Chain A
Amino acid sequence: MRVRVNAGLVAGAVLVGLVVLAALVSFVWTPHDPTLVDAAGKLRDPGDGYLLGADKFGRDTLSQLMVGARTTLYVGIVAVGIAALLGTPLGVIAGMTPYGWLSELVMRVNDLVFAFPALLLAVMLGAVYGAGTLTAMIAIGVATVPAFARVARAATLQVMVTDYILAARAAGRRGTAIAFRHVLPNIGSMLIVQASVSFAIAILAEAALSFLGFGTRPPTPSWGRMLQESQELLFSTPRLALWPGLAIALAVLGFNLLGDGLRDHLDPKLRRIRAER
Chain B
Amino acid sequence: MILYLVKRLAVLVVSTAVAGVVVFGFMALLPGDPAEIALGVNATPEALEELRRQFGTDRPAAAQFADWFGGLAQGDFGTSYVTSSPIGPQVADRLGVTVTLVLGGMVIALLIAVPLGVFAAVHHRDPLGAAISAASQIGIAIPAFLAGILLVFVFAVQAQALPSGGYVPFAESPGEWLRGLLLPWLSLGLVQGAVLTRYVRSAVLDVMREDYLRTARAKGRGRMGALWRHGLRNASVPVVTVLGLQLATLLIGAVVVERVFVIPGLGDLLLNGVAGRDLLLVQGVVMVLVVAVLLINFVVDVAYAALDPRLRGAR
| A34 smallest CB distance to B (angstroms) | 21
| A124 smallest CB distance to B (angstroms) | 5
Q: B274 touching A128 by the CB < 8 A rule? A: no
Contact with B along A122-142 (1 / 0, CB 8 A): 011011100000000000000
Q: B256 touching A277 by the CB < 8 A rule? A: no
| A225 smallest CB distance to B (angstroms) | 12
> With A and B bound together, what is the CA distance between A234 and B140 in angstroms?
23
Q: Across the two chains, which residue of chain B brings its CB closest to A255?
A: B141
User: Which residues of the partner chain B approach A57 to less than 8 Å between Cβ atoms?
Assistant: none
Contact with A along B241-259 (1 / 0, CB 8 A): 0000000110010011001
A interface residues with partner B (beta carbon < 8 Å): 108, 111-112, 114-117, 119-120, 123-124, 126-128, 200, 204, 207-208, 211-213, 227, 230-231, 234-235, 238, 241, 245, 248-250, 252-253, 256-257, 277
Q: B149 touching A123 by the CB < 8 A rule? A: no
Contact residues, B183-229 vs A (CB, 8 A) = 205
Q: Across the two chains, which residue of chain B brings its CB closest to A241?
A: B149
Q: A234 touching B153 by the CB < 8 A rule? A: yes
Q: A208 touching B143 by the CB < 8 A rule? A: yes
Q: A207 touching B137 by the CB < 8 A rule? A: no
- Given A111-B297, A117-B252, A277-B205, the answer on whether A253 and B145 have CB atoms closer than 8 Å is no
| B169 smallest CB distance to A (angstroms) | 24
Contact residues, B28-64 vs A (CB, 8 A) = 29-31
Q: B19 touching A112 by the CB < 8 A rule? A: yes
- Given A111-B297, A128-B31, A245-B150, the answer on whether A117 and B248 have CB atoms closer than 8 Å is yes
Q: A111 touching B15 by the CB < 8 A rule? A: yes
Q: How many A-B residue pairs have CB under 8 A?
A: 113
Q: B146 touching A238 by the CB < 8 A rule? A: no
**Interface membership of B92, Cβ < 8 A:** no
State the 9 A-B residue pairs at the shortest beta-carbon distance, nearest first.
A253-B141, A252-B141, A115-B293, A117-B252, A249-B141, A127-B274, A245-B146, A115-B294, A204-B143
Identify A235's interface contact among B11, B19, B157, B274, CB under 8 A.
B157
User: Which residues of the partner chain A approach B15 to less than 8 Å between Cβ atoms?
Assistant: 108, 111-112, 115
Contact with A along B137-158 (1 / 0, CB 8 A): 1101111011001101100010
> With A and B bound together, what is the CA distance between A108 and B10 in angstroms?
12
User: Which residues of the partner chain B approach A108 to less than 8 Å between Cβ atoms?
Assistant: 11, 15
- Given A235-B157, A241-B149, the answer on whether A128 and B142 have CB atoms closer than 8 Å is no
**Interface membership of B26, Cβ < 8 A:** yes
User: Which residues of the partner chain A approach B290 to less than 8 Å between Cβ atoms?
Assistant: 115-116, 120
| B248 smallest CB distance to A (angstroms) | 7
| A103 smallest CB distance to B (angstroms) | 12
- Given A112-B18, A115-B290, the answer on whether A127 and B282 have CB atoms closer than 8 Å is yes
Contact residues, B145-182 vs A (CB, 8 A) = 145-146, 149-150, 152-153, 157, 164
Identify A120's interface contact among B205, B260, B289, B294, CB under 8 A.
B289
User: Which residues of the partner chain B approach A117 to less than 8 Å between Cβ atoms?
Assistant: 248-249, 252, 293
